[in-house]
Chain A
Amino acid sequence: MAQATSPPDAAPGEDARARRHSTDAAGLGRVRAALFTAPALALIAVFLVFPALWVLYLGLTTYRLTGADAAEPQFVGLDNFVEALWDPAFWDSTWLTVEFVLGSAVVGQVGLGFTIAWLLRDRRGPLKRLVEGLVILAWILPSAVVSFLWVALLDRDSGTLNALLGIPGFPWLLDHPMLSIVVFNTWRGTAFSMMLYGAALGNVPPSHLESARLAGATGWQQLRDVVFPHIKGHVLTNLLLISLWTFNDFTPFMLTAGGPDGRSEVLAVHVYKVAVQSGELGYGAALSTIILLINLVVAVFYLRLLRSKR
């Protein structure tokens, strides 16, 4: 029961002291609460907020890794942004990123994660532990290792996949680079959604499901009318987190390096190529700012949906 345990929102006209007592159970008070949060906020301010603001500034300059602009970058205002918006490579990259997020996070990880959680919801014992263990393994192994495992799996001449399908020589990473990184990222990240939905399904009161079943609801109707309303909040929070994570994920670089011909160059890889490989730090920072804005739009979209459910 998600709602029952969380503190009720401030009801107008309610006695303020009683409300404080109900939320601040340990008698922390605002001063101690601020002290508790201060160390975390300090680190975040120095190593997260400051670099973010610095990116905003760099995006307005011609800063480069080498040459005259490395020593004395020129302030050029919004030129970098205009350049990006006129650059077809930027739009290709944006479109690929949308495909990557929709395919691997929204469809792949959420779909598969929910399916596994739903299949195993009433189960205990070795089968559940085995499935969950393997899914989590894919999630916790170092990305340097898993990306190489997938290079081996998809290898055209001696990879396991081609051996199983009986099509030796089929170049997955060259012919279907987007499909490869979408399936890879689904494999890599399903664990988070699976665990989250596992916990969420535990919150659905069994009596509600029972009465739906007695009333003759099919499995699909139970999902839609009983389960989904209970876990809607979880679904949206989960979508928000994994969309942002996937949007900024750099791991595809280790599989395809953005290629061939930029056909799997998602924005995170595009920024790396522009900023680090070509040394155009100012332009790269402007791209980062645009990514930040897109992420902001995505986040606001989800948060609006979340609010509208209440």
Chain B
Amino acid sequence: MIRFVLGRIGFYALVAVVLAFFTLPLLWLVTAPFTADPTYEVRVPLPGGGRGDGGTAAFTWDNFRAVLEHPYALPSLYNSVLLSAGTAALVVLLAALAAYALSRVRLPGRDALLYVLLLLSSIITGTAAIVPLFQLAVELDLIDSRLGLVLILTGGLLPAAIFMLKDFMDSTPKSYEESARVFGASPLQIVRHVVVPLVRPGLATIAVWAVANVWGNFLMPYLLLSDVEKQPAAVITYTLYTEGGQANLRLLSTFGLLYSVPVVLMYLFVSKKYGFRFHGGIKR
């Protein structure tokens, strides 16, 4: 009995520590945009607050007005949507086809190929390949092209997406496909009507993962888009950070919040509708 009680206490203490660790950094993001003249300090925005008493600050919507008036803030969010939706769609489609084929048909050198590509992608998507990617984009006339950026980002995300989806596909039962085949369905029909519904949570997870990746990607758009009207929110955030050598905390906190809300909503929607998980995990 005592062991049970101690176990419960230990459990809740650990959970409380975990919750505190993950909540603490987020407090600033949900308070600063609503406070007049925000600093790095977390203060609770209250109407009439901030009169010398510690911990509160005057509540205001002015910061949001300032962001709305900024010429590139809202358009950059639209650019982010275009880039991440385009990349996610392409990644999910191409990765699903490839992962299915690799999961069901034994191609020579399949596993070695997957690991080599995975290895390459984790390095090349970082800072290592910025020089050749820039030169390639110049040669192919893809500078300032959203499509070009989408293709480059897709190429970088595909190996990990295929890797994760293949494990997902490996763990789905094959009996449905076999019976569909007995009834005369073609392979493409089987993929569309049998396999896709089975792995939908996996596809949703990969889509969210791809969107979150592109949504936060700073380096590639910074490198490949010089037209400020095409730049996504990640690059615009950076310009707010360095404006006049000092961070503009009003714009930065408020724009940061607006920039974060779409990914959070997307995650909530997808996790409610499809479940956000690695079905059966990653094996081998």
Q: Which residues of B lie under 8 Å from residue A268 when comparing CB positions?
A: 126-128
Q: What is the CA–CA distance of A249 and B237 in the complex, to the nearest angstrom? A: 19
Asked if A84 is at the interface of the complex by the 8 Å CB criterion, the answer is: no
In the complex, the answer to whether A281 meets B131 with C-beta atoms within 8 Å is yes
Inside 8 A of B277's CB, which chain A residues have their CB? 195, 198-199
Chain A nearest CB from B169 CB (Å) reads: 10
Among A27, A127, A238, A250: residue with most chain B CB under 10 A: A27
Residue of A with least CB distance to B43: A158
- Residues of A near B100 (CB, < 8 A) are 28, 36
Cβ contact of B283, chosen from A6, A115, A146, cutoff 8 A: A6
B100 to chain A, nearest CB (A): 6
Give chain A residues whose Cβ lies under 8 Å from the Cβ of B98. 36-37, 39-41
**B107 in the interface (beta carbon within 8 A):** yes
Cβ of A24 and Cβ of B237 under 8 Å apart? no
Tell me the residues in window 228-272 of chain B with beta carbons closer than 8 Å to chain A beta carbons: 233-234, 237-238, 241, 247, 252, 256, 259-260, 263-264, 267
* B105, A23: Cβ atoms closer than 8 Å: yes
Task: Annotate A132-150 by CB proximity to B: 1 below 8 A, 0 otherwise.
Answer: 0011111111111110111
B89 interfacial contact with A, CB 8 Å: no
Residues A48 and B120 in contact, CB atoms below 8 Å apart: yes
Given contacts A140-B263, A144-B234, A148-B256, contact A153 B101 (CB under 8 A): no
* A161–B27 alpha-carbon span in the complex (Å): 11
Contact string against B for A residues 161-178, beta-carbon threshold 8 Å, 1 for contact and 0 otherwise: 101100000000000000
Query: In this complex, what residue of A is CB-closest to B215?
Result: A142
Q: Are B122 and A295 in contact (CB under 8 A)?
A: yes
Contact A24–B123 (Cβ < 8 Å): no
Does the CB pair A43–B155 fall under 8 Å? yes
Partner pick for B105 among A28, A144, A241, CB 8 A cutoff: A28
Complex-state Cα separation, A299 to B194, whole angstroms: 35
Given A148-B256, A237-B282, are A48 and B155 also a contact pair (CB < 8 Å)?
yes
Known: A47-B136, A245-B122. A153 touches B130 (CB 8 A): no
Contacting pair A33 B101 (CB below 8 A):
yes
Any chain B CB within 8 A of the CB of A85?
Answer: no
**Residue A55 lies at the interface, judged by CB distance under 8 Å to chain B:** yes
Give the CA-CA distance A145 to B30 in the complex, in Å: 12
Q: Tell me whether B284 and A306 are in contact (CB under 8 A).
A: yes
Interface-located stretch among B44-52, B59-67, B171-179 = B171-179
Q: How distant is the Cα of A137 from the Cα of B27 in the complex, in angstroms?
A: 13
| CB closest chain-A residue, reference B171 | A5
The residue on B at minimum CB distance from A65 is B131
- Known A-B contacts A47-B152, A233-B283; the reply to A149 vs B94 at CB < 8 A is no
CB closest residue in chain B, given A288: B128
Query: Which residue of B has the minimal Cβ distance to A242?
Result: B122
Q: Give the CA-CA distance A238 to B164 in the complex, in Å.
A: 11
Q: Which of B185-240 contact A (CB under 8 A)?
A: 187, 190-191, 194-195, 208, 212, 215-216, 218-219, 233-234, 237-238
Q: Indicate whether A179 reaches chain B with its CB closer than 8 angstroms.
A: no
B116-157 interface code vs A (CB 8 A; 1 in, 0 out): 011111111111111111011000000000000001101110
Which of A74-82, A94-102, A271-279 is the interface stretch? A271-279
Among B9-42, those with CB < 8 Å from A are 11, 14-15, 18-19, 21-29, 32, 39-42
The answer to whether A249 and B159 have CB atoms under 8 Å apart is: no
Cβ-defined contact, B252 with A30, below 8 A: no
Nearest-neighbour CB distance to chain B for A196, whole angstroms, equals 6
Question: A285 at interface (Cβ–Cβ under 8 A)?
Answer: yes
CB distance from A132 to the nearest CB of B (A): 9
On whether the beta carbons of A47 and B156 are closer than 8 Å, the reply is yes
A contact residues around B280 at 8 Å (CB): 2, 5, 199, 203
* Residue pair A26, B122 in contact (C-beta under 8 Å): no
- CB of B181 closer than 8 Å to a CB of A: yes
CA distance A28 to B129 in the complex (A): 36
* Interface contact B122-A271, CB-CB below 8 Å: no
Q: Are B123 and A291 in contact (CB under 8 A)?
A: yes
Q: B259 contacts A27, CB within 8 Å?
A: no
Give the distance in Å from the alpha carbon of A91 to the alpha carbon of B169 in the complex.
42
Report chain A residues within 8 Å CB of B252.
Answer: 148
Q: Does A226 touch B at the CB level, under 8 Å?
A: no
A196 to B279, CA, bound (A): 9
Interface core residue of A32, A48, A245 (most chain B CB under 10 Å): A48
Contact B101 A51 (CB under 8 A): no
**Beyond A33-B107, A52-B124, A148-B256, 4 extra complex contacts between A and B, CB < 8 Å:** A33-B104, A40-B98, A250-B126, A285-B128
Q: List 8 A-B contacts (CB under 8 A).
A: A2-B281, A43-B158, A50-B136, A140-B212, A145-B259, A151-B40, A244-B123, A299-B119
> Which 6 pairs show the lowest CB-CB distances between chains A and B?
A47-B155, A25-B174, A288-B128, A36-B101, A54-B132, A142-B216
